[in-house]
Structure 1
Amino acid sequence: MSGSTRLLEVSGVSVTFDGFRAINNLSFAIGPAEMRAVIGPNGAGKTTFMDIVTGKTRPDTGRVIWGDENISLIGMSEARIARAGIGRKFQRPTVFEEQSVRDNLTMALKADRGPFNVLFWKPSAEERAKVEDIAATIGLAGQLDRTSGELSHGQKQWLEIGMLLAQDPQLLLVDEPAAGMTPAEREHTTDLLKSLAKHHAVVVVEHDMEFVRRLDCKVTVLHEGSVLAEGSIDHVTKNQEVIDVYLGR
């Protein structure tokens, strides 16, 4: 991937915890409007990879370069990395369940203000319109005034994706979005992620191979902290090493 089309580049990164090498000379790159699925067995380094990109874990060696200005993310705080345009969605949805969908999205617009200050802040007409646009994008336009705790599991996942979108990220890291969803919710989630990848970089960590296949994107297979294989879903699922360490289990 050439520098002009690279948004994030992880190069030669390694990290060891108590003698265990969780990430081993890992290299990874993604463009500004691209979807990538990351798969691999438990312990392959998928979560640690996301921890490194978002500043939660500092690698022992290697480079993590972001954006056109080639900014090094290593040593930057998690908050600064988020402000730079990297949003992360964890597997369990974390929304304010007592608040409405509208309030959740509005608070996300002003995440730097904190939940208490936002009580005394009135969104502008432009910000209200943005909340409604995001709600339409994620499929919750008809739920804006509903209490978030009443939403289904899948709807809460979409709301959290919307809360990330409210912060204008360039890259979204999404952890196992299909887990616990109904078939209809999974189909909507597939469509949502594919539409987001037209304007954002989207990295989806997932175990569900049928869901990955429906994303129809490049796949990176991690094993023991390194890239084992990379390519289309058909390419990686025919790779004998991938079959041996992951798919054959």
Structure 2
Amino acid sequence: MSTLLEMSGVSVSFDGFKAINNLSFQIGEPEMRAIIGPNGAGKTTFMDIITGKTRPDEGRVIFGEKSMSLLGMSESQIARAGVGRKFQKPTVFEAQTVRENFALALKNPRSPFDVLLHRKTPAGADRIEALAEQVGLSDQLPRMAGELSHGQKQWLEIGMLLAQDPRLLLVDEPAAGMTPAEREKTTDILVAAAQKHAVVVVEHDMEFVRRLNCKVTVLNEGSVLAEGSLDHVTNNPDVIDVYLGR
């Protein structure tokens, strides 16, 4: 497994508060990683830096075999380079069908002319069927996205991310607001995605993290406090003190 993303010595301050403090992190491809930590630990800022939303004050963020620096790139350039992000609240096109949502997300030529002519190709149709199956929405393709349950909207958005064929997926609290059955299925979808992609999941639900069965990175005060299996980090006295003991 080769290293896909490497952050080293990354720091960023907001009004004198160090949100990220000399953070170093790396993930391979394919790999699943869970990020946990107390509120204010820097989890969102960590994702913002990778996706270009926040510029760090120092450090480096290197991506891919060609060691591209993500720091000089815009958010859209980073997305095109292969970094996909799913926010906590699902953002799908509610007035479109599930099939149309997938079609809009497919990695096609994207000039205004192409979008106007939106050609339906057999390859595109096959890809949509495959994506729908991957996220458990095959029987929902004709439905309006707005009619889906909260969990189904989350799956649709994960599928739309996968349609862009990212190398790295950043997923923010996917289990929030889901039923136990939906949480279980979400685990399955992410674990399957991590067979091909690098997947980073920020999550508070420890049972959900346990089911991901992956390496866990604990953030606190903007740096890595501990790293290892869930059992390893949850038995760490510092982690118990700052996070689990609360």
* Bin for the TM-score computed over the shorter chain: over 0.9
Please give the alpha-carbon distance, in whole angstroms, between the structure 1 residues aligned to 2:232 and 2:162: 32
Question: Is residue 2:87 matched to residue 1:90?
Answer: yes
After superposition, the CA RMSD in angstroms is: 1.4
Would the alpha carbon gap of residues 228 and 112 (structure 1) be closer, same or farther in structure 2, given more than 3 Å must change? farther
Question: Is residue 2:23 matched to residue 1:26?
Answer: yes
Please give the alpha-carbon distance, in whole angstroms, between the structure 2 residues aligned to 1:116 and 1:153: 34
**Consecutive unaligned residues in structure 1, runs of 5 or more:** none
- Match of 2:90, SS state, is coil
- Match of 1:98, SS state, is coil
Q: Which amino acid aligns with 1:163?
A: M
Report deviation, 1:121: 1.1
Which residue, out of 1, 4, 7, partners 1:10? 7
Contact 2:107 2:165 in 1 (8 A): no
TM-score (normalised: structure 1) = 0.96
Q: Which amino acid aligns with 2:82?
A: G
Please give the alpha-carbon distance, in whole angstroms, between the structure 1 residues aligned to 2:157 and 2:48: 18
Which residue, out of 179, 182, 188, partners 1:185? 182
Aligned equivalent of 2:243: 246
Question: Is residue 2:67 matched to residue 1:74?
Answer: no
Question: Is residue 2:204 matched to residue 1:203?
Answer: no
Please give the alpha-carbon distance, in whole angstroms, between the structure 2 residues aligned to 1:136 and 1:196: 12
TM-score (normalised: structure 2) = 0.97
Contact 2:216 2:233 in 1 (8 A): yes
Would the alpha carbon gap of residues 97 and 114 (structure 1) be closer, same or farther in structure 2, given more than 3 Å must change? farther
Query: 1:49-82 CA distances to partner (integer Å, 9 max, x unpaired)?
Result: 0000000001000000000000000020000000
Aligned equivalent of 2:99: 102
Aligned equivalent of 1:138: 135
Please give the alpha-carbon distance, in whole angstroms, between the structure 2 residues aligned to 1:28 and 1:111: 32
Which residue, out of 228, 232, 245, partners 2:229? 232
Query: 1:136-169 CA distances to partner (integer Å, 9 max, x unpaired)?
Result: 0000011111100000000000000001011010
Would the alpha carbon gap of residues 115 and 189 (structure 1) be closer, same or farther in structure 2, given more than 3 Å must change? farther
Please give the alpha-carbon distance, in whole angstroms, between the structure 1 residues aligned to 2:76 and 2:10: 21
Q: Which amino acid aligns with 1:68?
A: E
Aligned equivalent of 1:150: 147
- Match of 1:227, SS state, is strand
Aligned equivalent of 2:126: 129
Q: Counterparts in 2 of 1:53-68, with a 5 A limit?
A: 53-68=50-65
When the two structures are aligned, how many residues end up with a matched partner?
246
Please give the alpha-carbon distance, in whole angstroms, between the structure 2 residues aligned to 1:211 and 1:116: 43
Runs of 4+ in structure 1 deviating by more than 6 angstroms, as ranges, are: 114-117
Counting aligned pairs with the same residue, the percent is 72
Report deviation, 1:123: 2.2
